[in-house]
Structure 1
Amino acid sequence: MRFDVSRRSLLGMGLLGGGSIFGKFLPREALAQKPKERNNHFTSSAVHGGSTTVGDVDNERNGFSPRDILTDWDGGKVSQLPNGQTLREYDIAVEEREIEIAPGVVYPAWTYNGRVPGSTIRVTEGDRVKINFRNRSRHPHTIHFHGIHSARQDGVPGTLEAMPGEEVVYDFDAKPFGCHLYHCHSAPFKRHLHKGLYGAFIVDPDPKRYPEDEAAARSRLLGTPENQEWQEFLMVMNAFDTNFDEENEFYAVNTIPHEFMKRPLRIERDRPVRVYLINVTEFDPINSFHLHGNFFDYYDSGTTLTPSLRTIDTVMQCQGQRGILEFSFQEHAPGQYMFHAHQSEFLELGWMSAFEVVA
């Protein structure tokens, strides 16, 4: 059976679910899950006419959770080279597997280490990064890292491209500091990207290199006392074309539509917030982030220690663009504050969220 469902027809469906021979429904018994508790005053009828997905995705079946992705930084296997440089080593494999992207809707994803997005690689500026990359799929794949490296390490067709069953090694120094990403660059590029082959690559600044901005640099360096004062989250804006007509049927942060609307993201009012925001949405030229009731400072690509934009409440990103948002709710009353794309269709199809600010 084939389901021909367009993105706009989903807006008129209470389930907001759809599929085809590519994106298919799970059997009804798979949806009979115990409802999760919600602390949420945004009822389904109150959120933009009730246009939220009904039910919950089975994160255990998927093998990953959008909430865990917010903070599960991967520092790799750490050792020291003879010259004293820190080496961080990772094993990454491409796997083809089905994932549930909305309640009852399964997508045939191409994944790094079985999840979308892939592991969040987090290192310090100047570290040596070694990636043991294995292709367990039926198609050629690469890993292209946004950063500074030699042409030999670029991860494009003909350069460290792994054929099915092959293994290649990427080896480079982490620079510049910032909020970056990695993704497959094999052809056809748009297919490899929208199928799920992408992840975050965060390079923390080395405070010793920035004596004039050492406090700001230390606040970004994972593990420092200054960094622990911050509430940090990774948010990868992505989308899914479930019937492969080059129009997305679902939009999300960290893959699962409306996850942070159904269960708002809890933050402490008296601690500042830092969001590593990355846009990997295919088929739409721009995605965006809008914060309700507040403003933020924005660091484009995260490659500066002073904001590139100050006191804004909406930022646009094209595909592959990324940045760091910093803000505080210290002067706000506790409550729930929305954040979402400021394209109305995107938020109704999944990219709608909220913070639960607590005293």
Structure 2
Amino acid sequence: MRPWFKYPMTRRLLLRAGALIGGSSVIRLAVGQAPDTAQYAPTGGHESHDGMITVGEVDNARNGFDPHEILTDWERGTVSRLPDGQVLREFDITASDKEIEIAPGMFFPAWTYNGRVPGPTLRATEGDRIRIRFVNGGSHTHSMHFHGIHPARMDGVPGAGDVPPGGVFVYEFDAFPFGCHLYHCHSIPLKRHIHKGLYGAFIVDPDPDRHPEQAEAARSRLLGSSENARWQEFVLVMNGFDTNFDEENEIYAVNSIAHAYFKRPIPVDRARPLRLYLINVTEFDPVNSLHLHANFFDYYDHGTTLTPTLRMVDTIMQCQAQRGILEFSFSDHEPGFYMFHAHQSEFAELGWMSLFDVREA
């Protein structure tokens, strides 16, 4: 007997079918009825996005990580000084196989760094010596490839830092250039190792002493400085998950959990500026994007400059591994809930939809 349906049932086909029949139970197999979002808008004017938000809650405790903590969880390493006075930052990273819940009731067989996706956000200062002891506790060969400047033997590619299961490798290099970077596994097949979850943010703050002509701007990015303390900084890693391994993503998110920041909006102080470290590691789609509602931002492509590469834009597009820094303020806005999301509507419906909760201090 011939199958009644000619084409494979992909997530894109489900979305089209849902649109044709008015968003009925076919599409709600995945995304379901939205919670009451009237609570998010003091004026009661917020759109509910009925049928576009995942139903229920992810068990963050079982996952072992919370997407709200990932926003500001900077891993600074163990700090000491080398004999010549250079700052040394040492990190311990372990790769492991781990099932994670990416949407309520939807599980993904991930490969992780330190048990989370994305991996820990490593943060250093320009010129620091970075030393990472990498242990491969997973079932496949893995590595850590850093976007930045380093010796060839530290590149984290086959033949230069590729680590078999049970193996150990120490990566060591100086943190250059400053900016918003990332690291990821570079073992073969590359698309599988990245898509399965082996990636994380690598932020290098500028050293103000190296940039005397722009020292104030450099200090504002230097974690721990008084100038940096006035900023609200968040890291957002855009990712997707192919749950049935057909090379199409069924879930999209920032920091892995679908609609995490829509259900629990990110609280921000209206009086303090925001800085977002935005990184795209989405596999199987050529680009991802971020659109900010009711506001505009300055953008620093790759974060490697102290002056914006784009001014006054409200949407930015990134290919995989592209990243940048967004700076903006809500100081002239009324308190309320302000959206930010991918401006590929499909991505937003499947998990990449978020809110800032702008409040008075």
Q: Distance in 1 between matches of 2:60 and 2:252?
A: 17
Would you say the 8 A contact 2:71–2:236 is kept in 1? Answer: yes
Deviation at 1:48, TM superposition (A): 3.0
**Residues 150 and 15 (structure 1 numbering): CA distance in 2 closer, same or farther, change over 3 Å?**
same
Identity among equivalent pairs (%) = 66
* Mapping 1:295-334, distance limit 5 Å: 295-334=296-335
Q: Corresponding residue for 2:250? A: 249
- The answer on whether the counterparts of 1:17 and 1:53 sit within 8 Å (CA) in structure 2 is yes
Look up the match of 2:192. Answer: 191
In structure 1, the residue corresponding to 2:262 is in which secondary structure? helix
Q: Which runs of 5+ in 1 are unaligned?
A: 19-34
2:348 aligns to what SS in structure 1? helix
Gaps of 5+ in 2: 1-7, 19-25
Task: Quote the residue 1:6 is aligned against.
Answer: 10
| Deviation of 1:38 (Å) | 10
Note if 1:16 corresponds to 2:30: yes
Deviation at 1:133, TM superposition (A): 0.4
**Number of the residue aligned with 1:348:** 349
Matched, 1:235 2:239: no
Counting matched residue pairs gives: 338
Distance 1:192 1:104 in 2: 24
Q: Which residue of 1 aligns with 2:82?
A: 81
Runs (4+) off by over 6 Å: none
RMSD of aligned C-alpha atoms? 1.9
Q: Aligned partners of 2:310, 2:249: CA distance in 1, in Å? A: 30
| 1:281-317 superposed Cα distances (whole Å, 9 cap, x missing partner) | 0000000000000000000000000000000000000
Q: Offset at 1:46?
A: 3.9
CA contact (8 A) 2:182 2:321 kept: yes
1:32 maps to none
Question: Is residue 300–residue 310 contact of structure 2 (8 Å, CA) maintained in 1?
Answer: yes
- CA drift at 1:15: 4.9
Q: CA distance change for structure 1 residues 97 and 169 in 2, over 3 Å: closer, same or farther?
A: same
TM-score for both structures, normalised by structure 1: 0.91
CA–CA separation in structure 2 for the residues paired with 1:38 and 1:225: 38
Instruction: Describe how 1:34-73 pairs up with structure 2 within 5 A.
Output: 40-41=40-41, 46-73=47-74
Which residue type is aligned with residue 180 of structure 1?
H
Task: Note closer, same or farther for the CA distance 1:39–1:94 as it changes in structure 2 (3 Å cut).
Answer: farther
- 2:137 aligned partner, one-letter code: R
How far, CA to CA, are the matches of 1:55 and 1:41 in structure 2?
21
Work out whether residues 239 and 249 of structure 1, in 8 Å CA contact, stay in contact via their aligned partners in 2: yes
What is the rounded CA distance, in whole Å, between the counterparts of 1:41 and 1:259 in structure 2? Answer: 18
Aligned-partner Cα distance in 1 for 2:82–2:187: 32
Aligned residue type for 1:192: H
